[in-house]
Chain A
């Protein structure tokens, strides 16, 4: 079984984090599967949705490594093993789930070697897990630049707005070279009228893999800041689960 890496992308505010949080909730119930969940959104929305406090962020790991380089420690093998150590230390674990947060970017600086090593180390780390879910900031370029070179599947999330769908289409076009195979699909969120799904299907070249009904339970969890790990099997959660099964995430296979 090859480990599957899925990035959740889409226009801001369409519900990417909700989808990623429900994915985490579903994966946490599959005890025989090790899952890595990466919050690649500097806003840290996913950690809030899951009530997780990251021990250390990727940006902090990056800073520590830069300090080592500044101290004159430049040997690549030593830096690589140091990164494995720091990344493992940065994981916040909840059962079979390990959570990694990108954190707020500070001084970017010109440390290409560190960035390359960091990306390679995350890819190596992800290789030990059965599945990896990345909650991306918007498009996949940021994932490609800071998290990992390629993913298996881009789950495009959009609400029913034309703007959201167009952003999804743009992301898919840009994402093409960063995705292994042809994996990308659209999951439509906050659907009030099923007819809207048919209209979207007729107007986009994206493959629509499912739709999520507007759901008061999800809204209430968001408003009251309750962990999505505790989300009951509400209609939205069930719809997301169905989509995740369809793309192969819950079996770890693509």
Chain B
């Protein structure tokens, strides 16, 4: 059992349905030459397209597992790529799924999360709001002219997550098709966020009084959180 079994199942179900409807395009991270790294401030006047603008649907989900089927290097795209539409703004969901051996969940989360935050590409401005699990990107006109696509972003995440963490495999899903499609993943995003917050609280506060904890409902549902609680309570007792 893992922390995010239910959310991974939900994402995979979404992908299967989208595949059945012929809405998924797949790319291999390893066949994409790397896009140059670099921190970018992209102003509106230099922007070719925005993804997940604060006024539209946006989601960013990070899930990790030891057992679930993750196809290393697979980048799935549901909806148009950044260079394929005239629309200056698209809804956006990003799901990063890592497989590996994550013994210390707290450290693993921080490593994975920091690797995501530290993935910066030239001509792409990324802003993240973890508490709302949303992500907002601006692609510079110049980057688009040079051939930037989501394939490069996916490949960068795969590479970075595997380099900086103990992940042995990383799969990426991007959704740009419609606000409705992004919304379909919002339950998984909110649940994943609550699980992470519950886990962080346990590690940081070492307070195991379930009567007063606002995350007790999450722990009741996620077996793995109970195990973490027991492990930490035992450590505290020693």
Contact = CB atoms under 8 A, between A and B. Distances in A.
B231 to A, nearest CB: 21
Contacts of A85: 127-129, 134, 136
B203 to A, nearest CB: 11
A95 interface: yes
Nearest to B193: A73
Contacts of B40: 128
Q: How large is the interface on B (under 10, 10 to 19, 20 to 34, 35 or more residues)?
A: 20 to 34
B184 interface: no
A86 B41 contact: no
A96 B43 contact: yes
A200 B103 CA distance: 71
**Interface size class of chain A, counting residues whose CB lies under 8 Å from the partner chain:** 20 to 34
Given A81-B117, A93-B43, A96-B45, A72 B129 contact: no
Contacts of B204: 74
Contacts of A86: 129
Interface string A56-81: 00000000000010011111011001
Given A75-B200, A77-B114, A82 B43 contact: no
Contacts of A129: 41
A78 B129 CA distance: 8
A134 B131 CA distance: 30
B54 A98 contact: no
Contacts of B117: 77, 81
Contacts of B43: 34, 93, 96, 98
Nearest to A55: B54
A88 B131 contact: no
A34 B43 CA distance: 8
Contacts, number: 55
B131 A77 contact: no
Interface string B103-143: 00000001001100100000001011111001010000000
Interface string A84-111: 1110110001011010000000000000
Contact of B45 (A73, A89, A95): A95
Contacts of B113: 77-78
B39 interface: yes
B217 interface: no
Contacts of B201: 72
A206 B134 CA distance: 50
Given A72-B197, A72-B201, A77-B114, A82 B130 contact: yes
B220 interface: no
Given A72-B197, A85-B136, A89-B54, A78 B130 contact: yes
Contacts of A75: 130, 200
Given A81-B117, A85-B136, A89-B54, A73 B131 contact: yes
Contact of A93 (B45, B125, B128): B45
A52 B45 CA distance: 17
Given A72-B201, A77-B117, A82 B131 contact: yes
Contacts of A82: 128-131
B131 A78 contact: yes
12 contacts: A68-B131, A73-B197, A75-B200, A77-B113, A78-B113, A81-B130, A84-B127, A85-B136, A88-B125, A89-B54, A96-B45, A128-B40
A-B pairs, top 3 by smallest CB distance, nearest first, are A128-B41, A85-B127, A78-B130
Interface of B: 39-41, 43-45, 54, 110, 113-114, 117, 125, 127-131, 134, 136, 197, 200-201, 204, 214
